[in-house]
Amino acid sequence: MSFAKLSVSALAMTVAATAASARDQVQVAGSSTVLPYAAIVAEAFGENFDFPTPVVESGGSSAGLKKFCEGLGEGTIDVANASRKIKDSEIKACAENGVTDIIEVQIGYDGIVFASDINGESFEFTPEDWFLALSDKVAVDGALVDNPNKTWADVNANFPAQPLAAFVPGTKHGTREVFEDKVILAGCEATGAFDLFKAANGDDKKAAEKACIALRTDGVSVDIDGDYTETLARIESNKDGIGVFGLAFYENNTDKLQVATMSGVTPSTESIASGEYPVSRPLFFYVKKAHIGVIPGLQEYAEFFVSEEIAGPDGPLAEYGLVADPELEATQELVASQNTLGM
């Protein structure tokens, strides 16, 4: 009876399920910003080594580090990609689950750029402009008032009278944090609003910072919770919009977008590497030391990732938009010697 056969094979599968085979490929998870770089490395690694191509999951820095800290063993991931440094609370959570020896590897820098439609006006921004355009409250004659600005000309007399419309990354993105920190907060301090916020909050610096980065909610600033492709689509439908992108995304779409300068510097891999362009952040990946030697290819993958031919200024990662780390050699030594955090 075929029915019996079906049941038996179903049973056989559940039995097989308990005897899972050993894992022979590296598993990576984490930041969606690091994902394209990790995918490029994984692909080249699979082509040139005898190890299978690593599996790379996205999902965000926090989700990746959470998975990373779930414990040791084949059922857990080996590498977590992150677009920010691991937090002390995450190191603690890791330690509680037995993940104590973590190798931190900095792979380079990611630039955050401001871009608008290729056929529209071009802009030369400063952090002050963005603060005045997007902040919930701004300083007018020494008092805090609701943001009255409607067009870019209101913000800065040198700009055209183009309606304000900005597409900024949603709060779940690591990019948002950098945007708030290096642009909005910097603008807040430069326009003098920071001191007013501080005075209003009884000299509390933390509260003033929080008040600074509160963006207006009247529809001028739109949070994009999706990825940069959504930001691009929004700009295509609203030509007045200005979006916040990663440098790599812009480099891949230079026929549709034009980039704005920030404090007089045009973003490029060179200007970010030299530190001239202000809005950038380091990118990392974290390796479980306990998995090296257990999961085949893990050490080789880490070394390959930071090798000169991959992460160097002429490598495929730089070509895609990663800003090469000038300290790459030190990183290579760190990976080779498997130096863990806190050592």
**Binding region for other proteins (CB under 8 A):** 3, 6-7, 9-10, 13, 16-18, 20-21, 23, 25, 27, 29, 32, 35-36, 38-40, 42-44, 46-48, 50, 52-53, 55-59, 70, 74-75, 77, 118, 227-229, 248-249, 251-255, 309, 316, 319-320
Question: How many whole angstroms separate alpha carbon 30 and alpha carbon 77?
Answer: 10
User: What's the token pair of residue 61?
Assistant: 């820095």
Residues 6+ apart with CB under 8 A from 161: 151, 152, 153
The whole-angstrom distance between residue 189's C-alpha and the CA centroid of its chain comes to: 24
Give least dist CB 74 to other proteins, A. Answer: 7
Local structure of residue 14 (DSSP, 8 states): H
Give least dist CB 14 to other proteins, A. Answer: 8
Question: Closer to other proteins at the Cβ: 42 or 164?
Answer: 42
Question: Closer to other proteins at the Cβ: 246 or 278?
Answer: 246
Give least dist CB 43 to other proteins, A. Answer: 4
Question: Closer to other proteins at the Cβ: 35 or 99?
Answer: 35
Give least dist CB 4 to other proteins, A. Answer: 9
Question: Closer to other proteins at the Cβ: 27 or 61?
Answer: 27
Q: Nearest-5° angle of CA 143, CA 149, CA 150?
A: 160
Give least dist CB 230 to other proteins, A. Answer: 9
Question: Closer to other proteins at the Cβ: 74 or 136?
Answer: 74
Question: Closer to other proteins at the Cβ: 48 or 158?
Answer: 48
Local structure of residue 291 (DSSP, 8 states): G
Which residue type sits at 275? G
User: What's the token pair of residue 326?
Assistant: 């000038």
Give least dist CB 112 to other proteins, A. Answer: 14
Which residue type sits at 111? G
Give least dist CB 93 to other proteins, A. Answer: 15
* 162 contacts 151 by C-beta, under 8 angstroms: yes
Question: How many whole angstroms separate alpha carbon 233 and alpha carbon 14?
Answer: 46
Question: Closer to other proteins at the Cβ: 181 or 300?
Answer: 300
Question: How many whole angstroms separate alpha carbon 225 and alpha carbon 62?
Answer: 15
CA separation, residue 54 to residues 7, 50, 62, 258 (Å): 35, 12, 20, 35
